[in-house]
Amino acid sequence: MARLGRLRLGRDRRRTLYALIAAVALFVVGELVHPGFAGLDSVEAILTIASFVGLVAAGQTFVVLIGGIDLSVPWVLNGAAILLVTLSLGEDGRALYALLLTLGMGAGIGLLNGVGVAFLDVPAVVITLAMNGIMEGLTLGLSGGLTCAACASYAPPIVQRAVHEPILGVPAELFLWLAVIVIVSFVLGRTRFGRHTYAIGNNARASYLAGVGVRFTTVLLYALSGLFSALAGILLVGFGGQASLGMGTPYLFQSIAAVVIGGVYILGGRGSYLGAAAGAASLTALVSVLLAMNMPDYGRSIIYGVVILVLLLLYGREEGEG
Amino acid sequence: MPPELAARRERRPFAAHLVSQNIGLLLVFALLAAAVILYCVFFWIRQQSLPGNFELTSTVNNTMPLAMAAIGQTIVVLTRGLDLSVGGIIDLTNALAAVHIQDNVGSMLGWTALVLLVGAALGLVNGLLVGVGRLQPIVVTLATLSIFQGLAIRVLPQPGGAIPPSYTAALVDPNNPWALLYLALCVLLWLAFRRSALGVAIFAIGNDEGAARANGIKVVQGKVIAYTLSGVFAAAGGLFLAATATAGDATSGNGFTLSSIVAVVLGGVNLFGGRGSAVGAIAGAFVTTMIVNILFFSEIDPLYQSFYEGLFLIIAVVAGAVIGRLLRRRR
């Protein structure tokens, strides 16, 4: 048992390391292609972009670890961004109320996803897909296609500062992400809840028989995923100032890609958030390198897919050796 | 986490057996009937008449691309897989059709065949990665989706191109619902496929891959063929989409990934594999179109469209599960 445990950790750490090495290598390549790419400002900017993917990937990691998936990311994120600006009207005084309600909305939607998966036995793909449609319809309908008067509001200054304000010369957003990395890693690696999560991912039935609250844990994990999507939406609107329609769309693909690159096993039970975070960083670095090379949109889209396939094949091979 | 106890199945009356075996199919046709009736009611309120040939034709023509994509998706879902690249294949084939098809019979036939072949090749890539590469269908097809979408934009950077009117007339006659003939052909093909060795293999793989392998079914080959067929049907969807729109757009297929899954689920195909019918998926595709039609006539803001689609999807899945459970309990 102990040996097995060490082996698993070894493989997870190795993959996290691969993702980190890939990120560093991409920065080096970027510097060669476009001098100044690996400069401090540039690295900070790229990591800030990566942090939004990383936050969504945190939620995605939670559900992928139990063999699930969250396809409701795009419109939970988008809905959260619009909800925040319309509730706060760009005023700091209303920011706390707006933040709590928006995060509550995200967690609530995630909770519904979890109830569908855990209690109604609906496949995760279907329930989160349907929920994405529901959120899209509600977001578009209630905001009149983003034509409502309050929709043009800016994010409250305090939220904007939470993203941009430099602390020791580094944007606050990066400290936020670091905090999330530490907390999520701690929760997954060191708490009962985390161990239950891995147990369910490895064998839900055995976990149930061993006394793990499978349904309760599942619901909680989906709620966390919704919460992180909403958090990413809030910070993204703080980053850009205003909300827009479709701003959440890229994050579905990118969050799943980050999770896969980071070595989280898509059928659950193996992987770490540090890996997914490293995956987010290397994915964003890759996009930035391609941008620096003036690669057109379609080329980036193709390379995205190819990179994921290559990694999947490499990891699959490693699986066979172990 | 369904309890595995359901396996102890006793004999029951033939009618009850038939009902419980085809519960998904019955549900989707009930749903379709309800949707049609609701549509007629709203239509009557607005127009003081019943919908006629024109409404039928436009409904059929608008449903054709989705129906095609849903048939392909069904075959993959039956193997317990999922094809998220359907949207990308439709994007790419739609773009190819719009760029290349000229107004003469040779070009039309040639490019139709070629586009279907391209679809088969794209599906083959998915199938090889899933079957031979033993990778997870969701991530594989998510990755190829991105690749196919990129290729589509490479082929047709801006919406445009043109589809000759005669091609449109051949596929989706705007005056009469002749397109139903293609669907009838698909249903016949499906019935033959269902009873063929390949069909049986695909159902077996979805039900229990290990048992299928142990019984000498070529699992890898079955999966590769399933994804290839999905690619062919998605390509057919791309052709129908181009014919209805009379022009190409390299992003117009994106929505079909999700809506094909919606159609399949509404159609009673079990996402855990091994159970379902392309006939149900076609009906599911029509339900999806009818929902849009009903929303249009009930004066509900079209912005809410996705909301109702999502809601109906959840209701259909939960209702299917609950009714299935009740039937099993009654025995």
List the single residue in A69, A256, A316 with the smallest CB-CB distance to B135.
Answer: A316
The single-letter DSSP state of residue A150 is: G
Rounded to 5 degrees, what are φ and ψ at B304? -85, 0
Complex-level ipTM beyond the 0.90 threshold = no
Residue-by-residue DSSP string for B159-207:
SB----HHHHHHHS-SSS-THHHHHHHHHHHHHHHHHSHHHHHHHHHHH
> Which residue range is the domain that position A118 belongs to?
14-316
Mean pLDDT of chain A: 85
Using CA atoms, how far apart are residues B4 and B97, in angstroms rounded to an integer?
Answer: 48
- Could you tell me the CA-to-CA distances from B121 to A129, B88, B128, B231 in Å, in that order? 28, 13, 10, 7
List the single residue in B136, B157, B314 with the smallest CB-CB distance to A266.
Answer: B136
**Interchain pair A136, B306: CB under 8 A:** yes
**Interchain pair B313, A302: CB under 8 A:** no
* Region class of A146: left (phi > 0), else alpha (psi between -120 and 50), else beta: left
Number of compact structural domains in chain A? 1
**Interchain pair B136, A298: CB under 8 A:** no
Quickly count: other Cβ atoms within 10 Å of residue A297's Cβ.
14
Cα dihedral sign, B217-B221-B227-B228: negative
Share of chain A above pLDDT 70, in %: 94
Pairing relation of β-strands A166-167 and A170-171? antiparallel
Look at residues A247, A221, A246 and name the one whose alpha carbon lies nearest to residue A232.
A247
Do residues B199 and B278 lie in contact, with contact meaning Cβ atoms separated by under 8 Å?
A: no
More confident residue, B329 or A8: B329
Look at residues A62, A5, A14 and name the one whose alpha carbon lies nearest to residue A225.
A62
Q: Would you say residue A290 lies in a domain?
A: yes
Chain A, 222-281: which have a CB under 8 Å from a chain B CB? 253, 256-257, 260, 266-267
Is the pLDDT score of A290 beyond 60? yes
Tell me the fold of B17-41+51-330.
ABC transporter involved in vitamin B12 uptake, BtuC (1.10.3470)
B304: chain A residues, CB-CB within 8 Å: 137-138, 140-141
A133: chain B residues, CB-CB within 8 Å: 258, 306-307, 309-310, 313
Rounded to 5 degrees, what are φ and ψ at A171? -55, 140
| Residue A90 three-state SS | coil
Q: What confidence tens digit (pLDDT) does each residue in B267-289 have?
A: 888 888 888 899 999 999 999 88
Look at residues A35, A73, A48 and name the one whose alpha carbon lies nearest to residue A257.
A73
CATH of the domain at A44: 1.10.3470
Q: What confidence tens digit (pLDDT) does each residue in B44-85 have?
A: 888 888 888 888 888 898 999 999 999 999 999 999 999 999
| Residue A114 three-state SS | helix
Q: What confidence tens digit (pLDDT) does each residue in A31-68 have?
A: 888 887 878 888 888 889 999 999 999 999 999 999 88
Interface check A138 vs B, CB under 8 A: yes
Q: Would you say residue A203 lies in a domain?
A: yes
* Domain locations in chain B as residue ranges: 17-41+51-330
